[in-house]
Structure 1
């Protein structure tokens, strides 16, 4: 995806997977969402219909997009904003929230600046599922606008990083990113976030950036990051008090399922 970014010059950019297709109004609808006069987001994501290898329709919407609708997530209401004035299909999600709120690579459009800021220091760290890095990276800086319309076709096959080639039914996703890939993405995001944080402080408060980082990787991992990465001190040095470290260590002795959610490390 970085190669594609470097090959373009526009302020908005989308990546089309070779197996997928955009509907005729994809670009228009995404650009309109980015130019909304009510709110601004770093990236947009729209729904997709699902087709098989022969192009036959399998589903009228992408299960991942609908399973991860933030309106169904607890404690999210304060971070969501519907554009009731201009387009009620647009749902803006504030930056600083953690989760998977999107469809797939071919259903996304990014503002260039957030991608330039958060481009991984070592692109080889993210060899597959690059959208898992880029979507989170853009969202960390400027949030997301979800477009509640299917504007493309996602081709389902057995050889990608997410899906297993089957549509099983309501409440069942197409697959999950492998744990190793998920960990690699979050580590790369954490390292890059620490690297660029000083240059973002005039736009995003240090407290907010710190919270985003800790929510991304977990408390114990944040302490480990502080020890390994000299850039992490800008965000974590004042946060890493002896009391918090002791509390985190003691709670870490509990079985993972008994720990409060914020004490469950993700990397």
Structure 2
């Protein structure tokens, strides 16, 4: 088989008031074994020394693949990410939170997963180790990764992909050869519940991001990750890499995880996310209705209607939800 030229990847790091950790996050990108990438760091008008910490790291690296965008006005998670995306044009894109860390082979493993011969997924996602504010590992993984908690599924939503069909990358020469022994799982169920860790664990096709990215900044200042990932799963499905390829940092100021690790089923947040979940579903439906032409062009009329029905089902009670789901398969 002839060697295959590898795709280029872009990394977007957004930062707001995270001077203690953002330098280490950037360094973890610089250490990647997969070298054909560019990285844009967007400082969302931090009110502390975060921008200076970023610039200090970039000066130390002296690497033209890295650049900093400093925003004069705070625009929130979605707005900062949008401004970073506007500066990159590659077929694959990753988002790294400014307090998380990637393993050296994070990009390599995700590109390899995307190049599997079985199924072209919209995004890939891996498990995570949990670290504390000082970088010490406090948990080897998260229990909910890859667990479909919908009772009706009974485990049927996940299908294995033969590891031999996922390539081994020769990052020194920029080529790929198909042989690997890591477990991968294809997840194609169109769901509105969460089985992943965070967007720092993922690599997306840029074409998919362009389709599902939130339509405005202010409405989606927070919780962009839930919106983007659930919409992406509904459209294209995902591939799960059953290995922790990054570190999710718990330091007491996380946006979604504010509980200590107690063991057992890691309940990382004391918040009630029900209202947020419902609001995001409302916004997803509104975006799909207002953007109907774009979605129909990308998905086709039949798949678009199915996606709408499944989202409406998620807002209904269990009995009505099953009526919606059964109906979606009949149209």
* TMscore range, shorter length: 0.7 to 0.9
Answer 1 or 2: higher relative contact order, Cα 8 Å, separation at least 6: 1
User: What is the RMSD computed on CA atoms of the aligned residues?
Assistant: 2.8
**Deviation of 1:177 (Å):** 6.3
Of 24, 47, 70, which residue of structure 1 is paired with 2:148? 70
Residue aligned with 1:164, SS: coil
Higher strand proportion (structure 1 or 2)? 2
**Deviation of 1:137 (Å):** 1.9
* Partner Cα distance (1:201, 1:78) in 2: 28
Calculate the TM-score normalised by the size of structure 2: 0.61
* Corresponding residue of 1:226: none
* Corresponding residue of 1:81: 159
Matches within 5 A, 1:94-105: 94=188, 96-105=190-199
Question: Which ranges in structure 1 are unaligned for 5 or more consecutive residues?
Answer: 222-251
* Partner Cα distance (2:283, 2:310) in 1: 15
Residue aligned with 1:148, SS: strand
* Corresponding residue of 2:77: none
Residue aligned with 2:108, SS: helix
Calculate the TM-score normalised by the size of structure 1: 0.74
1:9 lines up with 2:89 in the alignment = yes
* Partner Cα distance (1:129, 1:192) in 2: 15
Of 274, 277, 297, which residue of structure 2 is paired with 1:179? 274
Of 287, 305, 310, which residue of structure 2 is paired with 1:192? 287
* Corresponding residue of 1:262: 321
Residue aligned with 1:125, SS: coil
Q: Deviations over 1:156-197 (max 9, x none)?
A: 122223212311222232125633432332222112222334
Residue aligned with 1:163, SS: coil
Of 235, 242, 252, which residue of structure 2 is paired with 1:141? 235
* Partner Cα distance (1:26, 1:191) in 2: 35
Matches within 5 A, 1:160-175: 160-175=254-269
Question: Which ranges in structure 2 are unaligned for 5 or more consecutive residues?
Answer: 1-80, 167-181, 324-331
* Partner Cα distance (1:205, 1:7) in 2: 30
* Partner Cα distance (2:110, 2:272) in 1: 26
How many residues of Structure 1 are paired with residues of Structure 2 in the alignment? 227
- Say if 1:62 and 1:5 are closer, same or farther in 2 by CA, change over 3 A: farther
Bigger shift: residues 41-50 or 166-175: 166-175
Bigger shift: residues 71-80 or 22-31: 71-80
1:29 lines up with 2:124 in the alignment = no
Q: Deviations over 1:127-182 (max 9, x none)?
A: 12221111112112211111101100100122223212311222232125633432
**Deviation of 1:57 (Å):** 0.8
* Partner Cα distance (2:97, 2:294) in 1: 33
